[in-house]
Amino acid sequence: MPVTAVPPLPPGCPWSSWTPPNLKWCEENLCSWITAPANTWSNLAYIVLGVVMWRQARRWKNRSLAIFGPASIIVGVASFAYHASYTFFLQFFDFVGMFIFCFLLIVLNGRRLGQLGERDLVPAFIGGVGVCSALVPVLFYFDIPIQLTVMALTAVILLQESWLSRRAAEPAHYPLFFGAMALLAAAVTFSALDLTRTWCDPGNHWLQGHALWHLLTACALYILFLFYRQFQFSVRP
């Protein structure tokens, strides 16, 4: 089946009257309230690790890290709902969740670069998430892959970190960052194998390439949380 082909659910299924999302992952969508079990339940990793991050940030009394946990939980809940439903409406919130985590890193890096003051962080974060979220229905209407926005934001984060590694006044220790990038690269590989049907067993509702994307990226987000612990965002760089 071509990647661009997004078949609707059979008539009479719980979500069949809703507009389908902009792409179809390998896993067969069932006529059920949870249409893709593997791709749905794997999102619990974001929620579990989000609770861990929230508890650790509270224990460390670190205000800058406090948003990591809730952001990961939002990602998990939104992605769970999207994959359970196979609808564009809930896919929209899946993208919003990803924008939230991407812009969390972007604004913190902007603080490390000295481009954003402490009072600028929240407006920059809300503005970035808002603009990207507004683009989602526009891209969907013109049949432009919405996933390109997440790829672009990831590229921005990598460029920021590359610049910081050479020019930041506050030196950073990078083993955790490189570990997170290795997990992210593996996650992208499994997701691409799934999307291109290179590795695809539609009837397997226990293990899917995109489900591995969820598990690996959840771990990568947690490692990034540990990486950002070393920085002091409450003082001017």
> What confidence tens digit (pLDDT) does each residue in 108-127 have?
999 998 899 888 999 999 99
181 occurs within a structural domain: yes
Q: Is residue 230 over pLDDT 80? A: yes
Q: What is the pLDDT of residues 132-165, one digit of tens each?
A: 999 999 999 999 999 999 999 999 999 999 999 8
7 occurs within a structural domain: no
Q: What is the pLDDT of residue 63?
A: 85
Least confident of 44-48, 62-66, 189-193: 62-66
65 occurs within a structural domain: yes
Average pLDDT over residues 72-80: 98
Q: What is the pLDDT of residue 172?
A: 85
Q: What is the pLDDT of residue 237?
A: 38
139 occurs within a structural domain: yes
Q: Is residue 216 over pLDDT 50? A: yes
Cα atoms in the Cβ-side hemisphere of radius 13 Å centred on 186: 15
22 occurs within a structural domain: no
Range of the domain at 76: 37-230
192 occurs within a structural domain: yes
CA distances from 173 to 109, 176, 177, 182, 229 (A): 15, 8, 8, 16, 11
Total domains in the chain come to 1
8 occurs within a structural domain: no
Task: Using a cut of 0.85, tell me whether the model's pTM lies above it.
Answer: yes
236 occurs within a structural domain: no
Q: What percent of the chain has pLDDT over 90?
A: 86
Rounded Cα gap, residues 231 and 222, in angstroms: 16
